[in-house]
Amino acid sequence: MTEAPPRTERPARERRALLSATLTAGAAEVVDFMLPLFAGVGLGASATEIGVLLAVELVLSVLVRPLAGVLADRHERSTVAAVGAALYALACAGYALAPGFGAALGAAALSGVGGALLWVALRALAGERLGEDSGVFARLAAAESTGGWVVFVPALFVQSAVGYQGMFLGLAVCCAWAAAALLSAPRRAAGPEEAEPPGDAADPRAAAALGFGPLGRRLGPMLAAVAATMAAEAAIGLLLLLHLQRGFGLEPMQVAYVFLPGAIAMSVLPEYLHVLVRRFGRRTMLAASSVASALFAAGLAIAPNPVVIAVLWVLSGVAWAVVIPVQQAVIAEAAGPRRLGRGLGLYESACLVGALFGSLGAGALYDFGSWAWAAVVCAAVILAGAVIVPRAVRALGVPDIPSEPPPVEEPADGPEEAEPAARPAGGTGTDAATAPEPVGARPPQQAGTADPPLGGAAPPQRAGSADTPPGGGPPADTQASPTDSEQAPTATPTRLLLVLGAHTAVFAAAIALALLLVPGMTANALFGVNTGGLDVLLRDLLTGQGNLSDLVALLTRVWMVAYAIDLVSTLWKAGAALARRRREHGRR
């Protein structure tokens, strides 16, 4: 069993970023899924107008992403991301209140610009700590995927109960919450090694190029591999959606249930799979994930029903749990700390361009060929990624094995002594000679070469760096403090199982009380056997047609889903903790 990832202190800045990623990723998933339906049904737009609406958002998003990278390198990244989240909130509110197609077109433009600012700056914000913790992008991918179902599924219920307007207003609230969280995040003062590169400041043409110069040429092979991978994955995703709707006649809510297992896998697995990346290397895991995704795509050609498709979709979740964090990490390392935003802006643009061509190709394959052949073609393209993507990573020259941060240990006297010294206003720091070298650090690059990669040899701390507390040690944002995060007690298998037992007892007691005390309540109604779905219960309650038994049944089913997730997650953690304990005893 895969060992659980080690617990490390997560700064408040990173926690705000992860919360914002969950909220906005979920909102973006809902908008991407529901916008074509809303435009056709709610606005009466034609197929051509719907295409224009989607194209405006996509084109602006692609064009603004490189500029967003420059802004993320020159300004406070949490502020840039907050502006993007606020623009996306305005876009969602615009969709909700749009009287016609013209207003919706303006909202689409806002969402394209806002999404570009948000995601480039948010990824750059996460990448700031890549040299200290190689798992930051794995956590970011998990947070995004969590939003993909934690926000997406309730939004579908809200839409079925109160319509598109209420749903879009709810999404606007999520994005506004994300913007507020980002604005409340601690600011990070850039050290001298992250200042604007002299070449960019001295040559206006270099700044105008927005990173499409030496950086673009260096990242070119990897960006091409990213675009090809995204094209194939976008194609198979669209083909699956079309097949579920047209081949099996599923409704939007039923389609969401098919995608849900893969989304949950993506929200749980990234940190665990990152342990395997550190053990076996990036190139090996990228090749393995490409094979897994290709098997999923090929299996779709012969899948007999949506249940089998849902199981196969988990393979896609496993693949993406490896691919996305590794791609972002190698791009960030190759770009270096001074051009982190530019590099990730180019990465985001490559993803969107690949998704655009993949969607166009999927539509043509579905219309002019058979479903089986379309799935096989996509599987072949994805399988080619098992060779293309690892070669592109090798061409970047980044380490195959990411450096593992030293474990965070709490002093014996308690967490109080782990508090950092107060940061002076001037941001005094330690000398470079006293800064500890990270595990697995690469030899320093020679003068005149590109920026040092974030995941390899960390640039030396210089005097005056605001991120290094007096007396040396890790940056102040990563140390424990009463206002940041507190060290949790070690989760042993026994403790985890005791907590799970308590949760099970409470859940069982609630079911027993509902059956005994609620008039007309039956076990079938509680568990949804041969009765209406959650959307029916919610609609009846909001329209005044429901009763107490409907409310209890709705709450019980939501609780049941949460309990199932808790059960699987706790058993996984307990097994991983037990395996880790056995390995430790074996070493002794």
Of 486, 490, 489, 488, nearest in space to 12 by CA: 486
Cβ partners under 8 Å of residue 231, min gap 6: 354, 355, 357, 358, 361, 381
Q: Which of 11-25, 318-332, 561-575 has the lowest mean pLDDT?
A: 561-575
> What does the alpha-carbon distance between residue 440 and residue 344 come to, in Å, rounded to a whole number?
24
- How many CB atoms sit inside 10 A of residue 560's CB? 15
Confidence at residue 71, expressed as pLDDT on a 0 to 100 scale: 92
Confidence at residue 122, expressed as pLDDT on a 0 to 100 scale: 93
Q: What is the mean pLDDT of residues 383-399?
A: 88
Q: What is the DSSP string of 244-276?
A: IIIIS---HHHHHHHHHHHHHHHHHSHHHHHHH
Q: Where in the sequence of the chain do the CATH 1.20.1250.20 domains occur? A: 8-187, 211-403
Query: What 8-state DSSP symbol labels residue 9?
Result: -
- What percent of the chain has a predicted confidence (pLDDT) above 70? 75
Confidence at residue 429, expressed as pLDDT on a 0 to 100 scale: 38
Q: Which of 278-282, 530-534, 558-562, 583-587 has the lowest mean pLDDT?
A: 530-534
- What percent of the chain has a predicted confidence (pLDDT) above 90? 17
Query: What 8-state DSSP symbol labels residue 479?
Result: S
Looking at mean pLDDT, say which of 9-23, 69-83, 261-275, 480-494 comes out highest. Answer: 69-83
pLDDT at 381 over 90: no
User: Who has greater pLDDT, 502 or 526?
Assistant: 502
Confidence label for 417 from pLDDT (cuts 50, 70 and 90):
very low
Q: What is the mean pLDDT of residues 64-89?
A: 93
User: Who has greater pLDDT, 115 or 510?
Assistant: 115
> What does the alpha-carbon distance between residue 132 and residue 403 come to, in Å, rounded to a whole number?
8
453-470 pLDDT, tens per residue?
454 444 444 444 444 444
Quote the Cα angle for 552-558-559, to 5°. Answer: 85
pLDDT at 527 over 80: no
Q: What is the mean pLDDT of residues 143-163?
A: 82
> What does the alpha-carbon distance between residue 272 and residue 102 come to, in Å, rounded to a whole number?
46
Single-letter residue type at 122: L
CB-based contact 95:33 (threshold 8 Å): no
User: Who has greater pLDDT, 382 or 408?
Assistant: 382
- Topology given in CATH for the domain delimited by 8-187: Growth Hormone; Chain: A; (1.20.1250)
Confidence at residue 520, expressed as pLDDT on a 0 to 100 scale: 74
Confidence at residue 173, expressed as pLDDT on a 0 to 100 scale: 95
Domain 211-403 classification at class level:
mainly alpha
User: Who has greater pLDDT, 119 or 497?
Assistant: 119
Quote the Cα angle for 143-577-419, to 5°. Answer: 65
Quote the Cα angle for 230-322-220, to 5°. Answer: 45
Residues in the chain: 588
pTM over 0.85: no
What's the mean pLDDT when you consider all of the chain? 76
pLDDT at 317 over 90: no
Cα dihedral across residues 406, 410, 415, 420: positive or negative: negative
Q: What is the mean pLDDT of residues 370-384?
A: 84
Residue given tokens 């990832």 in the structure block = 5
For the chain, percent helix, then strand, then coil, each to nearest 5?
Answer: 70, 0, 30
> What does the alpha-carbon distance between residue 481 and residue 503 come to, in Å, rounded to a whole number?
31
User: Who has greater pLDDT, 203 or 490?
Assistant: 490
Q: What is the mean pLDDT of residues 80-88?
A: 96
User: Who has greater pLDDT, 310 or 168?
Assistant: 168
> What does the alpha-carbon distance between residue 198 and residue 359 come to, in Å, rounded to a whole number?
41
Confidence at residue 457, expressed as pLDDT on a 0 to 100 scale: 42
222-266 pLDDT, tens per residue?
999 899 888 888 888 888 887 887 788 887 767 877 887 787 788
78: three-class secondary structure by DSSP? helix
> What does the alpha-carbon distance between residue 168 and residue 151 come to, in Å, rounded to a whole number?
12
Alpha-carbon distances of 322 from 134, 167, 316, 327, 394, rounded to whole Å: 13, 32, 10, 9, 17
- Burial of 422: CB neighbours in 10 Å, binned 0-12, 13-18, 19+: exposed
> What does the alpha-carbon distance between residue 123 and residue 520 come to, in Å, rounded to a whole number?
51
Query: What 8-state DSSP symbol labels residue 417?
Result: G
